[in-house]
Amino acid sequence: MAAFYTSLYLVALAQGGHKPCVQAFGADQFDASHPREAVSRSSFFNWWYFGICAGTAVTLVFLSYIQDNIGWGLGFGIPCVVMACALAVFLLGTRTYRYYVSDGKQRSLFARTGEAFATWRTKRRKLSPLAASDSHEAHRAATSVAQVDEEEQGVVISNADLIEEVKGVLRLFPIWATCLIYAVAFSQSSTFFTKQAATLDRHVGKRVQVPPAALQSFISITIVLFMPIYDRAIVPLARRCTGVSSGITMLQRIGVGMVLSLVSMVVAALVETRRLRIAADAGLADLPKVPVPMSLWWMVPQYVLFGAADVFTMVGLQEFFYDQVPDKLRSIGLALYLSIFGIGSFISSGLVSGIDKWTSERGQSWFSNNLNRGHLDYFYWLIAALSALELVVYVFFAVTFKYKKKAASATVG
């Protein structure tokens, strides 16, 4: 058990370092000052997410079968071999990568913030020439004053650069904050959607029964199918109409995904309302282990809509938080993007806990273990309402947002 949990925490630690950096480094391979490469960089985020979702689809469909029917050793061994091959390919390309360098004294935002704070806490002592007892001491005091003034000027310049970088990050906060409800909706696809699917008739034919979690593969399959269409057909068509190299702006792309997410939650609420009605009509309200006579295919549209929403919002957020932060802070920008979904999950958990306690005190919990007596549909309607409110606020900030103009960077092969 100790080895098992250690491996889980190692995965979490590795993902925390890997995810923000690999996207930033991959996008750095394209020169933003070159028109063709700028277009390719936008496509990079599309194909990056395509690869992630293709891997997820394979995992959900094939590896889950291997783990359940052959063994978990082989199920974990296959990803291990794939990761070893990926690491080898990555290392083979070391000499061909581009590295963007601004100056020889580049330090992290956290290091420079610490230095600025230490400087602010340090009390400067200036020796006054008038307080010296002789000319030699007066000369030394004057020299000390000049050195302190010179050092102070350097600190002021450094702090000014730091302040500009902090401002560059803080200006993204309204967009970051208005995407949190999207993350709340996103977290339902792997939690309550799965619990909802477990109550349905999941037979395909007479012998095959689809696992509830396997329905999540429809999100990845939708992304894998729709991403090439978006990148190769929709973007060129939109580019002709808008003149924007990426077809539509990053914030417009995020907004479209938010609309699709809102529609998905409405569809989920309507499907759950139908499921509750069929369960009641069939006399299954108090028989949660008996499948409701309703096909699992009723749930596919909400998964497909979520997949389409991810093509717009997920990829749009990745590109936005990479492109709109100061050049030195691209990894931090992508970490901010990832934090949306971490904090969104916490918000979702808080909502569920609060609503569960409130509704349990007044009768039946919305999240009763017997879903036939619960009201997931009310929860979905609540998220849909919050998504609509979020969309209005997001549009306000998106319309008033001014994109950062990127300066050309020096590259070292």
DSSP per-residue codes, 127-159: PPGGG-SSHHHHHHHHHHHHHHHHHHHHHHHHH
Give the count of beta carbons closer than 10 Å to the beta carbon of residue 206: 6
269 CB contacts (<8 Å, ≥6 apart)? 377, 380, 381, 384
Question: What is the pLDDT at residue 121?
Answer: 58
Residue 80 bridge partners (DSSP): none
SS3 324: coil
Question: What is the pLDDT at residue 104?
Answer: 47
Tokens of 132: 């010296």
Give the count of beta carbons closer than 10 Å to the beta carbon of residue 330: 22
Task: Enumerate long-range contacts of 91-100, CB under 8 Å, 24 or more apart.
Answer: 96/413, 97/25, 97/29, 98/28, 98/29, 98/31, 98/411, 98/412, 98/413, 99/28, 99/411, 99/412, 99/413, 100/28, 100/327, 100/409, 100/410, 100/411, 100/412
2-100+171-404 placed in CATH 1.20.1250.20: yes
Say what the pTM is.
0.73
- Cα separation, 314 vs 320, whole angstroms: 10
C-alpha R_g of the chain: 27
Per-residue pLDDT of the chain (413 residues; tens, 9 = 90+): 999 889 888 888 888 778 777 877 887 888 767 777 777 776 787 788 888 888 877 787 777 778 777 888 888 899 899 989 999 998 998 888 887 665 545 555 556 555 555 554 565 554 444 444 455 555 555 555 445 454 455 545 456 666 777 777 888 999 999 999 999 999 998 889 988 888 898 888 777 777 777 788 888 889 888 888 888 888 888 888 888 877 889 999 999 999 999 999 999 999 999 999 999 999 988 888 888 999 888 999 999 999 999 989 988 898 898 888 877 777 788 888 888 988 998 999 999 999 999 998 888 899 988 889 889 999 999 999 999 999 999 999 999 998 876 544 434 33
